[in-house]
Amino acid sequence: MIQFIEKQQLFHLTTPQSSYVMAVADGEWLGHLYYGPKLADTTGMEKAFRLNEFPFSPAVNERDKVRFTQLFPFEYSFFGMGDYREPCLSVENEYGMNGVELTYRSFEIIPGKVIPEGLPHTRGDEACCDTLDLLMADDVLGLDVHLLYTVYQDLDVIVKSVKVVNRSDAPVTLKRVLSGQLNQEPEECEVLTLHGSWGRERTITRQPLMTGSVSAESLRGVSSAEDSPFLAILSPGTTQTMGEVWGMSLIYSGNFLAKAQIDQAGRLRCVMGIHPEGFSWPMVPGDTFQSPEVALVYSGEGLGKMTRTYHDLYRSHLIEKRWLTQDRPVLVNNWEATMMNFDTDVLIGFAKAAKEAGLDMLVMDDGWFGHRDDDTSSLGDWFVDERKLKGGLKKLTDAVNEMGMKFGIWVEPEMVNEDSELFRAHPDWRFQLPDRKPGALRQQYVLDLTREEVWEGVYSQIHDTLASANIAYVKWDMNRYLSDVGSMVREPGCQGQILHQYVLAVYRMQERLLKDFPDLLLENCSSGGARFDAGMLFYSPQIWTSDDTDAIERLSIQEGTALVFPVSTMGAHVSVCPNLQTGRDVPFNTRAKVAMAGTFGYEMDVRNMDPEEKAMIPEQVALFRKVHPVVREGDYYRIASFRENHHSDCWMVVTKDRSLAYMTYVQVLAAANRPGVPVRMQGLDPDAAYEVICDYKGAMAAHNGEMSMGPEASHHLGRFNGDTLMKHGIIVPRVRGDYQALMYEIKKV
């Protein structure tokens, strides 16, 4: 609900459990007043601006205007006029002078959603949301700035974005246009960010913020494995179930800045949007610039409530709706088994073994195109290598389809090798700086997709390949960060547009792909999880979470990812042991149960497996198909974190009607003489009775005081009240050995 209270010149945005309040001070300055638990009334709130205190407002004491601007809680801050904190907007005029000043002009409440052209966005119609358009302006520069706020009726979410219009008769240059700002006056707070590296993506990091600033950012051309475009402010001591949380999640896939800053008065300002480093956007008269969206979530019930709100937003209003209820195929990927050393016969053998094991799809990874035998050649040549695939792609695909299996394929459209027909024909199509030797990474270079002829040329090859056979799935990879970013055909003053336009070009390509092949399942990947962000989820319902497939390493990676993103979006596979990344041996049962937290598949040679493990695959697939509808559509609860407690990990998913839940418990490290572990569940109906069944197949568990290798499928623990399961919990039995996993079914009776 969006309400304007004229007497107070105040805007009150309400969600089911939160309020967001801003008002116009002195008739022109739009300031932020409140974001937190839902308010019944806003009477007198405008007095919180303290305009009668030092340093006074400009209307009262014009000579102290700069003292006013450096402390006023601007709703959308601007640079150059005396606000020395981190700004959202910075504009350079035609003479190179940097200064902009936004004052309030008008508002409009629009039923439904305003769609940001060319960008991924949250979806919605008049039945579920409304949008507030606040018009701000700078008459000296001739700029209109539209602050857009979408409020959903059923979610504690405020989605922000900004549209800038040059209505003057002179050019200007945008030096930064961030998407949104959050202002608070906390006594104390913590900042939570998601940091990492390749193979260690999205590690939860919490740190107190007393003075100065904390930031997460990427200058790598993608959202990156090192920092995720997310930031949250926490009240001290916040847990999964208690404390206040203010989250900011950017729906964008390129360079970003997320920064939390305490000013000299102890006030908090958080900003988020496209990173200003390397960004410069010339605007001639009549031009418009649209920022990406940022989704703000308030939770008064700890991190868990924030997580479930983001999951609901992204599942219901970002990801294409059909994927909310559609089963995902259980696939096997040949990469870890064969690398690039395969041919048609090898892949058909893979498909036969996969079919016998009950799998749905074979995915052919890197090495099928050009003359690619290693990573030094053929990126950019998206035509079949008939040395390997004799008879072509259709012959192979038809043979796999005849077995009752679907077929998928790997591509890396954004890259090129020097040893390729594409590069030999168009050496100027890669990013490069004049008179400098471009830096290679993995023997590959980044194509300048900001040029239409480049992305059209690459896309046409991929389109023709996909159209030649029955391809059900595409894994879109991107295996290096951007460097040497320069376009050989751009004017000197326009080079600062490239990084953002590159991201827009990737979005255009993926939008075209899904339009041309509407039944295609697209899975994004970027050297693992380096572009796991909400922007990519608009186009693909799942993303490869990490190249680190070690199940124990995945506990932390998947915990951090699931903090913001739905668990059903996490690409997760069972891989071979010893694990190729860590050398660790983890039981087959545990590898499978950890992978069932997301999408599910196998990353191993199913033709030459240990017979005992191979016999377990049909049972694992059957269990996944039983569990996945709850994973896909239910609520996620984090029960325990190995990252925090150093001995075990536990999570559960619960149907929306609270009739069925699955809880997974992983004992990472065994300990001598340790009793069973009490685990309190979450999300159940406190007034209902539940039957609890433990699936301990493959785990060495102690039941009734005796150690045994659990050959049976399940153990009935009995009937419990939901209130008891949440307040008292159950005792997870002692488990013998490291890396053991149990799964519990909790079913209402």
Q: What is the spatial distance between Cα 250 and Cα 260, in angstroms, rounded to a whole number?
A: 14
Quick one: tokens of 741?
């996993």
Quick one: tokens of 589?
């049962």
Question: What H or E segment, with its residue span, contains residue 65?
Answer: helix 65-69
Quick one: tokens of 314?
């992204």
For residue 578, is the peptide bond before it cis, meaning its omega torsion is within 30 degrees of 0? yes
Q: Is 477 a catalytic site residue? A: yes
Q: What is the spatial distance between Cα 247 and Cα 229, in angstroms, rounded to a whole number?
A: 11
Q: What is the spatial distance between Cα 602 and Cα 50, in angstroms, rounded to a whole number?
A: 61
| CB-CB contact of 479 with 442 (8 Å) | yes
Beta bridge partners of 387: none
Quick one: tokens of 332?
């096997």
Q: What is the per-residue pLDDT for 673?
A: 85
Cβ atoms < 10 Å from Cβ of 636:
22
Query: What's the pLDDT band for 716 if we cut at 50, 70, 90?
Result: confident
Query: What's the pLDDT band for 704 if we cut at 50, 70, 90?
Result: very low
Catalytic residue among 138, 365, 381, 547: 547
Catalytic residue among 448, 477, 550, 635: 477
> In the chain, what's the furthest Cα-to-Cα distance?
84
Residue 676: φ, ψ to 5°: -55, 155
| CB-CB contact of 440 with 494 (8 Å) | no
- Give all domains of the chain, ordered by start, each with its CATH number: 53-318 (2.70.98.60), 329-631 (3.20.20.70), 638-748 (2.60.40.1180)
Residue 381's contacts (CB-CB under 8 Å, 6 or more residues apart) are 369, 370, 371, 372, 420, 421, 422, 461
- Say what the pTM is: 0.96
The counts of H helices and E strands in the chain are 14, 41
pLDDT in tens, 334-393: 998 999 999 999 999 999 999 999 999 999 999 999 999 999 999 999 999 999 999 999
pLDDT in tens, 235-245: 999 999 999 99
Q: What is the spatial distance between Cα 661 and Cα 333, in angstroms, rounded to a whole number?
A: 30
pLDDT in tens, 391-435: 999 999 999 999 999 999 999 999 999 999 999 999 999 999 999
The residue-averaged pLDDT of 98-104 equals 97
| CB-CB contact of 178 with 257 (8 Å) | yes
Could you give the residue ranges of the DSSP H alpha helices within 236-385?
302-317, 335-338, 344-356
Query: What's the pLDDT band for 735 if we cut at 50, 70, 90?
Result: confident
Residue 396's contacts (CB-CB under 8 Å, 6 or more residues apart) are 344, 347, 348, 364, 389, 407, 469
Q: Is 547 a catalytic site residue? A: yes
Cβ atoms < 10 Å from Cβ of 17:
16
Q: What is the spatial distance between Cα 348 and Cα 355, in angstroms, rounded to a whole number?
A: 10
